[in-house]
Chains A and B, each alone.
Chain A
Amino acid sequence: MAGTQGNFKVSLTENPRYIDMDKCIACGLCAEKCPKKVDDEYNEGLGKRKAIYVPYSQAVPLKYAIDDTICLKLTKNRCGICEKTCPSGAINFADKAKEKTLNVGSIILAMGFESFDPSGIDSLGFGQHPDIVTSMGFERILSATGPFGGHLCLPSDKDHEKAPKKIAWLQCVGSRDENRCSNAYCSSVCCMYAVKQAVMAREHSHDPLDCAIFYMDMRTHGKDFDRYMEGAKKNGVRFIQSRVHSVVPSQDHQGIEMRFIDPDGTIQNENFDIVVLSTGLQISAACVDLANTMNIELDHGNFVKTDSFNPVSTSVPGIYACGVFTGPKDIPQSVMEASSAAAAATEYISSARHTLTKEIVIPEERDTEYELPKIGVFVCNCGTNIGGVIDVPDVVAYARTLPGVTYAEENLFTCSQDTQDKMAQVIKEKKLNRVVVAACSPKTHEPLFRQTLINAGLNKHLLEMANIRNHDSWVHASEPARATKKAKHLVRMAVSKSMLLNSLFETQLPVTQSALVVGGGIAGMTAALSLARQGFPVSLVEREQNLGGNARKLFHTYMDEDIPGQVKTMIHQVNDHPMIHTYLGAVIEHLDGFVGNFNTTLATPESKVTIDHGVAILATGAVEAKPDEYLYGKHDAVMTHLEFDGRLNKKDPMLDAAEDIAFIQCVGSREAAHPYCSKVCCTHSIHSAVEVKKRNPNANVYIFYRDIRTYGKRELIYKQARDMGILFFRYDLESKPRVTPSGTGVNIRILDHILKMPVSIDVDILCLASRIQARDNQSLAQAFKITCDSDGWMLEAHQKLRPVDFATDGVFLCGMAHYPKPIDESIAQAKAAASRAITTLARSSISVGGVVSRVNEQLCSGCQGCIEVCPYNAIQMDEKKHVVNINAALCKGCGACAAACPSEALTLEGFNNEQIYAQIKSAMGA
């Protein structure tokens, strides 16, 4: 790599694949015939793969590759059988490595992690017994695409039949451990995945399965994670707080013996059938090398060094990083960071947007409205996938007899490029105006065949698919005759529906290329700045009279960065930016419109303002709950985190005078009424404790906790705190600390876990880790048509894969309105929201229509039953005509209205009643 921000030159070496990607249609014949077998690294060595292989079943693109380290042809110039079997001639043994040079403006590193290899730790017995597996290995065992087809069995059993009765999980293998490895950090995700695996294993198992998780602290700090863990506990998953010191494969192969000290301090022996080592995440040597060649600074865990206010920036300008490479994290956080890195990477080079775009030329669409149906049926063999079970020529012959069918043919691989070209040719030649493809799932292949229709000058909605692979040949492989009959039924149904298909059209609506950001805290300001820096005007709305939100009341991040100073800088940047218009003391009064065309009315102290905007980002934050226990509000020595930080900021002499300071964790969190973890408090308390100890090394500092959740790199300050002599006491929800006034301070009594004796401590200051509480977002939720979960947090479109989107298009989410989170995560999510918003803003128009509902005004009697059932508020009443109309931009084509309408005045285009009745009739007849 050479060059600087805005102008990098990157040289890449593309290793040979020995497969022509354009020709390979992933039929699998080559792998069937390949004689060379090796352990499959994707299945953690639990299964085998061939020398010619697809790395894993969901690989995109689904194309084969040859492993040149073991292929007989490439290593010894023998065999070559794949070349002979390949029906499409995709094998190319002469393939060579290719050098490429790219000229780019920004670089994003998303190189992920490797799972810790526990074979070096003898006491864990990995490698000594096949039933001791890593968590990755166990993940593969549970997976339907795994080595045992998703059947839970003992890896040691050759027949894969014997099911385990007891499984143990060992947490923190390769994490929080500087003795047996050098990974001092917490891997952050293992607690949650262990709980998930335990729950799933129990679901997979036919007999009752005993699952035990051996842990130090359960770190289920993510959204809804605690609820999931409590559910697992209730369903009988055992949680044992203990670090197992040895795992001994028993000699008689009667399972695996584990020796550990239970929470009471007694030594226990217990046998398990499978032991899962919850291995941590670490950065591979290759990644470290690459970072070094790029001069990127790493921390001592080999993660990219970032700061809380720039969570995706590396030490080299123009190079960004995301995912586990910047620190251990789970899927939603990685997805957020990925979008965030995309935003950061485009901020500097946004002027280049749209400069390298190429426009696709598509042939003019033929008008088929007045033509009689001429249906073409293309039946796919899919190699042996379909043809091996179903008598395809018979199905083709049958298709020819169906009414409306003027052409039918058989293809070896309908999805291959040459067949596609031929199909387009046939459509043109035979003047087909409806196309039925009997092949696989429309979910994966409909876009491809629609493209074929477009290329042939047909409307893409004139396509109908019959899934004779997934729904037929795969599930009825043992009954070829009946499968063939079913294929005929499916084809007949598709043909009768296709007869009634009509062209559907999409129209373009202009996009207002500006954004509304609700909330002027760190998240809102970050999102606004990111959008403005990329050239999009932003209206920033804040309910309070000043920007900054909760961050104004905070002191330092756990990495000792000065929060008020940074916030001040950020406020300046917002105020100075010409593209940002800030409305202080303003609330949203009314909202109209839809993605690309919102119209919002704000009530500001002076007047009412209406704003047109294309997208909206909600960053309304959260508040610190006021505790109602531990003498809070009744005694001056008792305070919350924010109040404590206020004193730190003001350098309150009370803090320096205090000799004994205590922190109580989980005040209001993780309880029946609020069963979630507030996520930031463990780190915050420990950081405050360290700060106190630094100012006054003689002070006694106590922390009362349930589980210490200093996830990821935060673990290091937990260690630092212990090294400094800060005392930690664990308590249970059933035996909470009792706080009574004692002079100017308070007295705390608690039952010590290990000693089984009451402990009494007098302290001068008691700091409560009070719960973070969601704001009342009811009216906002109503205006933006979004939902909040039972704890009040705004509900994202998908908890793992779409963590900043809402189900409503054009509205995005960031910061603590989503869930409690520290500053770095809020900023990452805010940038991610900006990035997601730009996917809409960067376009000048959006297309509307296609598969949406349509109203037949003649039939509508204006009863408005449909309005109530529409989940997207896409239907309005036209009072004048006494009929309803549908906003195609809001309609998602769910069809609820069509089902609700008593007179079939509403129909879902592409799935209208006529078409569905035709399919049903055709299914029932013959």
Chain B
Amino acid sequence: MDCEFVPSVCSYCGTGCGVLFEVIDGRINRTLPLKSHPVNQGKLCIKGWNLHEYINSYMRLKGPLVRENGRLEKATWDEAVNQAARRFTRIKEEHGPDSIGVLVSAKITNEENYLAQKLTRAVIGTNNVDHCARL
């Protein structure tokens, strides 16, 4: 049996707490706070402590799905993105750009966050953009 520990950074919010993944036989089994990390100094919040759970979750989304006739069906990225774009365009045409809001996440990179707000303001045309961890 193999047991190793992999230091990493918590991906939940912008704080950047150091975490330590307990990896048993290639599978993440537990998250521990990284004691020597300067940011969190061996402490974590409830989200950090459960960081490993979604990786192994059976509910984890592994590819794009599109709802057709009330059922989620597997789709290609192109299909999914096109579908989303079509629907957003229609909403914007029917109800105006302020009927759309965007909430971005700390789980994506800074650059991606930047792109998201750019998309919201420049493409959709609204200031309704916010972030889950507005620290």
Touch A–B, Cβ below 8 Å? no
Residues in B lying within 8 Å of A, measured CB to CB: none
Residues in A lying within 8 Å of B, measured CB to CB: none
